[in-house]
Structure 1
Amino acid sequence: MRTEDLEKRALSLPGAIESAHFGKRDFRVGKRIFMSLPEAGRAVFKFTPGQQKMLLETEPGVCAAVPGGWGLKGWTSVYFADADEDIIGHVMEIAWRNVAPKALLNGAKTSAT
């Protein structure tokens, strides 16, 4: 998957916008970050620790916990360049749902529903 494809997919989610923090691009919904792009080929997603644990077990070559405290909170690196697009789309929707306002969740029609 190319960075451009990942960006397009992120912006297609209801209420998603592109922004930046600490000099890195991010994608938000309702002012909350669900994905950032800290470097080429790697995205960082907002998961719960339980979601992160499952992903690390099921996708060990694609996913890795962010080092330190952020990783303990569920932030997870996903190496998307050679990853299956369906997996990337699914994890992106999970991260989006983790931060989306309830009003958007109630009206959202994504493949994770």
Structure 2
Amino acid sequence: MNPRIDLFRRLALQLPGAVESAHMGHPDFRLNKRIFATLSAQEKGYGVLKLTPEQQQAFITEQPQSFSPVQGGWGRMGMTFIHLEHADEALIAGALSTAYHNLQKKQSENKSNKKSHTMARPGKSPRTRLQ
């Protein structure tokens, strides 16, 4: 097995609550059932990170040899290849942490929104508001 892939896996699983699962036959890493990183391109020596488009651009600008956008629409939404042979442990850990914290923040905001919506109508089931 590729030691860089093993490093990516080990670092992803060190994040609190992170678990390894699979999507379409490829390993992925999740927090509360939501994916923040995958090894869908491990045969090329790449990991894949779920970043924001702004974060993706920043990583590519800072380390163009280590990061590139996934092709097509997924890449435009922030899905990013990390070229593991060009990334040291600290860079891999930092990129994984960024993807993980994006998801953690989103999940925390979703929980907060659900609580405030439920609290607005005590004793009744929440309704979907029309915009």
**TM-score by structure 1 length?**
0.85
Residue 102 in 1 paired to residue 104 in 2?
no
Q: Which of 45, 52, 59 pairs up with 1:55?
A: 59
Q: CA deviation at 1:11?
A: 0.7
| Identity among equivalent pairs (%) | 40
Within-5 A mapping of 1:1-113:
2-38=4-40, 39-40=42-43, 41-100=45-104, 101-102=107-108
Equivalent in the alignment of 2:121? none
Q: Give structure 1 regions of 4+ aligned residues with deviation exceeding 2 angstroms.
A: none
Unaligned 5+ runs, structure 2 = 110-131
| Whole-angstrom distance in 2 between the partners of 1:80 and 1:14 | 22
Q: CA deviation at 1:93?
A: 0.1
The one-character-per-residue Cα deviations of 1:81-111 (angstroms, maximum 9, x if unpaired) are 23121111101100000112339xxxxxxxx
Q: CA deviation at 1:4?
A: 1.4
| Whole-angstrom distance in 2 between the partners of 1:72 and 1:99 | 18
Equivalent in the alignment of 1:106? none
| Whole-angstrom distance in 1 between the partners of 2:86 and 2:71 | 22
The structure with the greater share of residues assigned to helix is 2
Equivalences, count: 103
The one-character-per-residue Cα deviations of 1:44-100 (angstroms, maximum 9, x if unpaired) are 000000000111111100100000000010000001123121111101100000112
Say which one has the larger Rg: 2
Tell me which amino acid in the other structure corresponds to 2:79.
Answer: W
